[in-house]
Amino acid sequence: MTKADLVDKVTALGDLTRRDGEVIVDTLFESVIGALQAGDKIEIRGFGSFRTRQRNARIGRNPKTGEKVDVPAKRVPFFKPSKELRDTVNPSGAKSAPTSKASSSEVDPHHPPAM
């Protein structure tokens, strides 16, 4: 999904113009970026949390020349998904298969019985 696709989804939710959708999406992204720059943590319940992690200075290697290069310390953004998001993306690990079968008159239209 691209930013334009996200703007289209926001615009389709209500009586919004495309410009209104762009403003909403841009404001959300700018708020997250600003909070991370300030060193704050952002937590969105049911989705996940954004924070920064400190990477220490190290000596790297230029893969083309093999020359040693000093890599300075830096902060990098990090996203940790919530349990709900992980379970939604990977439903097989979240729920075990039911042990009792439903009656044969109830057929799930998304999972018809095998023939």
| pLDDT one digit per residue (tens) for the chain, 115 residues | 999 999 999 999 888 999 999 999 999 999 999 999 999 999 999 999 999 999 999 999 999 999 999 999 999 999 999 999 999 999 885 455 455 454 445 656 555 555 5
Virtual torsion, Cα 52, 40, 89, 28, nearest 10 deg: -120
Domains of the chain as residue ranges with CATH: 3-91 (4.10.520.10)
Nearest to 36 by CA among 15, 51, 53, 16: 51
Instruction: Give the containing element (helix H, strand E) for 80.
Output: strand 74-81
Q: Is the pTM here over 0.85, yes or no?
A: no
